[in-house]
Structure 1
Amino acid sequence: MVVLSGIALGAIGGEAVHGQVRPPAYLIGQIEVTDPEGYAREYLPKAREIIKAHGGRLVAAAGAAAGSPIVAVDGNPPKRVVIYAYPSMDALQAWRNDPAYVQVRAVGEKYARYHTFAVEGAASP
């Protein structure tokens, strides 16, 4: 009886934990790099380090310098697109507000123009 009670409580507790799981968040960036050498040398290595520290991982990159083309479905495609996944919107916002990233982003803005936005992933069934 004690064992069955423990199993039941574990199952209920597991459902409560799973019910609180936050969906992943995705950062979509349209980037126009004006100085590829400066961008690659001064911005990317530091930015990638900080992204990784916040749980971000590159999902897709296409366009200029990415090696794969952007396929236009409707309208004109941007010059470069990146998609990063984060464990949650909180993690994504913590990355974007990290003082180290704010500083490195100022460097990136010398070499590129950014249009970025974030969306939460669909809830799992």
Structure 2
Amino acid sequence: MALFAGVAIGGIAVEGLHAQAKLKAYSVAEIEPVAGAKVSPTYLEAARKAIASHHGRALRTVNGRVQGIEGTPPKNVAIVEWDSVDDAVAFYKSKDWSDLAAEREKSQKTFRRYVVEVEQ
């Protein structure tokens, strides 16, 4: 009987852990450079540091080639991996992100930004 109770309790604990697990997420920003402007290395460093402090990992796609498959692709795409959708949303609502807005807007216009949750 004790063995059965132990197995049942273990099963409940595992189910609880699965329910608490958060799925990774990716934020995607479709960006158009401002004519004649360049993203400053200082801004990129500060943005990457702020992202990391909020549980994100910048995939360094800002100057990567974007190849359209269907539809018209944006000029640049910024992709960040996050521990969860909640972490991504919290970051984009944070003071760290809003403090970088003035510098960011000098060099780029963001057409769309969204977060996608990834099932594991």
Identify the TM-score tier after normalising by the shorter chain: 0.7 to 0.9
Q: State the Cα RMSD in Å.
A: 2.1
| Cα separation, 2, equivalents of 1:2 and 1:59 | 50
Gaps of 5+ in 2: none
Q: Percent identity at matched positions?
A: 29
Number of equivalences: 117
| Cα separation, 1, equivalents of 2:40 and 2:23 | 31
| Cα separation, 2, equivalents of 1:48 and 1:60 | 9
Superposition deviation, residue 8 in structure 1: 3.5
- Taking structure 2 as the reference length, the TM-score comes to 0.81
Gaps of 5+ in 1: none
Query: Which amino acid is 1:46 matched to?
Result: A
Relative to 1, partners in 2 of residues 1:42 and 1:58: Cα closer, same or farther, differing over 3 Å?
Answer: closer
- Check whether the contact 1:42–1:107 (CA below 8 A) recurs between aligned residues: no
Alignment of 1:73-112 (within 5 A): 73-112=69-108
Superposition deviation, residue 2 in structure 1: 4.6
Superposition deviation, residue 48 in structure 1: 0.4
- Taking structure 1 as the reference length, the TM-score comes to 0.79
Query: Which amino acid is 1:78 matched to?
Result: P
